Structure 1
Amino acid sequence: MRCFLALLPLIGLLTFGAPSSAAEPLPQPKGAVILTVTGRIEQTNAPGQARFDRDMLEALGKASFVTGSEVSEKPQLFEGVPLRAVLERVGAHGTVIKASALNDYAAPIPFEDLRFEPILAMKVDGQVLTVRDKGPLWVVYPRDAHEVLHDVRYYARSVWQLNRLHVE
């Protein structure tokens, strides 16, 4: 019986999943805010907003892949945070993410695109993205891993100079 009782917490994790980080309060950014998430979210750190600095995003986990893009003739190494991790952290619930850039370009990203594991790139080929180089963030899909991503629909969703996400 003791063995069974000792295993209960583990069984609960396996059955119901790990506790969501969205339940933890979202801290205040200490550095410059590079991403603001609004809309149908549960966690905020400003009225109606979840604001992230670079360190907060990096703390959500890192992801990287080498892939081609519509703006380069050769594959590049993209490093950043999984878009899924950002959405999970704020407790996003919706069907579409409106990704907006510094110049107000916006593109809708359907939640089903998360199956491709796009990232919010912060570095390309080891270099931190600046506004001049498509930063501070760039939505990047691993297009070389999925033939379907070689399509203008996904190119339009690869928003560079990203600074806002709105969950609808």
Structure 2
Amino acid sequence: MARWRVFALLLLVAVASAGCNPKKPTYTVIRKGGWSQPPPPVGKVLLTVILPDGRSYDLDRQGLQKLTWVRRVTRYHPREKDPPAAFEGVLLSDLIKAFGVREEGLYIRFTALDDYQLKRSWAELEPLEPILALKQNGKWLTIDDYGPVRVILPYDRLRPDPTEYNALWVWQLRVIEFLEQ
């Protein structure tokens, strides 16, 4: 009888702690990938990445698809009242690693097609696990639906007020600049 109580207690602890992992990712890995160096674009350039030393790289869809791809199902700004959508793309952290950029003291400047700019520290962005999304609900993003590349955050994990993060939802992204401060 004592064994059953110990087993039941251990089972209860395991079940109770399963949903309490604050480090649980807000995305699902779809496909593993990577590159030893950024591939030259063969298609339309979607994103330019500028490194702290000033070197820049143009990336097309094919180049971005060679990295690990993830999916996040979430509500999103500016259509918070719409049902959650499934976004697919590359984790910003994977792009940082792919280019060998040092994370300590890193700042990131995002520039959109309309020249909207946002500069934030990686220390602020990293816990949000930003995704550079290229697909929404299985369809490639276009300019009309805030693409071809946009930043997607885990909307329901933005606390205390998701609207405080509205500036971070950069859409129609064209340049990411990594800056060391």
Give per-residue Cα distances to partners, 1:135-163, cap 9 Å, x unaligned. Answer: 1100011122x242743342201100001
Distance 2:158 2:165 in 1: 11
2:38–2:63: 8 Å Cα contact kept in structure 1?
Answer: no
The aligned length equals 141
Structure 1 residues 85, 119: closer, same or farther in 2, change over 3 A? same
Structure 1 residues 161, 147: closer, same or farther in 2, change over 3 A? closer
Give per-residue Cα distances to partners, 1:80-105, cap 9 Å, x unaligned. Answer: 11111111111223421001100100
Instruction: Provide runs of 4+ in structure 1 moved above 6 Å.
Output: none
Q: Say yes or no: does 1:96 pair with 2:107.
A: yes
Distance 1:128 1:85 in 2: 20
- Structure 2, unaligned runs of 5 or more: 1-33
SS at match of 1:69: coil
Structure 1 residues 152, 92: closer, same or farther in 2, change over 3 A? farther
Kindly report which structure 2 residues correspond to 1:1-168, keeping only aligned pairs within 5 A, or say none: 24-40=36-52, 48-72=55-79, 73=81, 74-93=83-102, 94-112=105-123, 113-144=125-156, 146-148=157-159, 150-168=161-179
1:7 corresponds to which residue? none
Larger Rg: 2
Q: TM-score, normalised by structure 1?
A: 0.76
2:93–2:126: 8 Å Cα contact kept in structure 1?
Answer: yes
Identical aligned pairs, as a percentage?
33
Report the CA distance between 1:125 and its aligned residue: 1.4
Structure 1 residues 62, 105: closer, same or farther in 2, change over 3 A? same
Give per-residue Cα distances to partners, 1:33-92, cap 9 Å, x unaligned. Answer: 111011316xxxxx8202111011111111111111122212111111111111111122
Q: TM-score, normalised by structure 2?
A: 0.71
Distance 2:116 2:146 in 1: 13
Distance 1:85 1:56 in 2: 13
- Structure 1, unaligned runs of 5 or more: 1-20, 42-46
1:6 corresponds to which residue? none
The amino acid across from 1:125 in the alignment is N
